[in-house]
Structure 1
Amino acid sequence: MTSPPPSITPAEPRSGTGDLGWLLVNFLEEVPGVDAGVLGTLDGLPLASAGLSEAKSAHLAAVATTQNSAGKAGGNIIDPPGGDVELVIVQLSRRYVFVMNTQQGTTGDTAVAGTLLTVLAAPDVDTRMVGNEMAALIKSVARHLGTTTRTATADGSVNAGPGDEA
């Protein structure tokens, strides 16, 4: 694994919502060439991160939201619209930025709603491998960040999903 460029300051993983920082730490350790990662909301708030300070995590989460929105806008310029963004890859001269929409990660009745997984990687990284590993991580995130599908019952009440006793 390459050492992080000077602009990336290794830090203790910041985690939130279900303490997901450990998932990102494992991702950084297991995927060669990946230096940092952030799981953030669609509106740019960091939920968990690894390899970045808290301030840089917040900045990257906001940047990811912008890239996701720009990708969707660009894809929807002509008819038929391109749909939802699945993956944005920005290739810089000394780094890649990957932004994957986690709405693609579902497990049974559980789906991750409104999150983006963003990673920073070395310029010589295997981009296919990073994309595949991001998709695998999203599946594991779905189990921890998922929301159960809700359905209306005949009497108008809402069933919160499996195991709902009300």
Structure 2
Amino acid sequence: MRTLVALLACWGLPLGHVGATSNAGYDDIRWEHLVPKDWDPSAQFKGMDFSKLQDGDPKATELLASLKSAWDAAPAEPSMQGRKIRLPGFLLPLDSSESLKTFLLVPYFGACIHSPPPPANQIVQVVLDKPVKGFRTMDPVWVMGTMEIFRSDSPWGGVGYRLKGVKVETFKP
């Protein structure tokens, strides 16, 4: 039960406030821009009283599986296809090499490693033109590049987008 409540709570924790200004031809976007306006993963839970569920309750386990399934199938926002963006997030390397060329970008600290993964439309696979050094797991970063809708599974959760990155820089929330 606590896991289900934590998942629902994490859904509302995007990283900081970001304006919709332009930076060198790249639009600054927020994580909520990656979610279609008509998608509501909690719709199936409206009117439910979670206070009566206990950890280990089969109904809680069933609801958690249902939520995970909805999050893994989370739709991408079509308007993001081909858009040049700049997005803040937390870096999650996909390999252990010193230089990074491919990593996941997630909206909040600890996503995928200290808590369940967010919906697929809140996980972005970043593929850089050139590898970068000096970044570690969960470093806050800005990433600039061209967004594409992309479905994939990773060891850390379902991926809904790929960002063909051209620049990574430190983000100070």
Q: Give the TM-score, by structure 1 length.
A: 0.29
Query: Higher strand fraction: Structure 1 or Structure 2?
Result: 2
Q: Give the TM-score, by structure 2 length.
A: 0.28
Query: Higher helix fraction: Structure 1 or Structure 2?
Result: 1
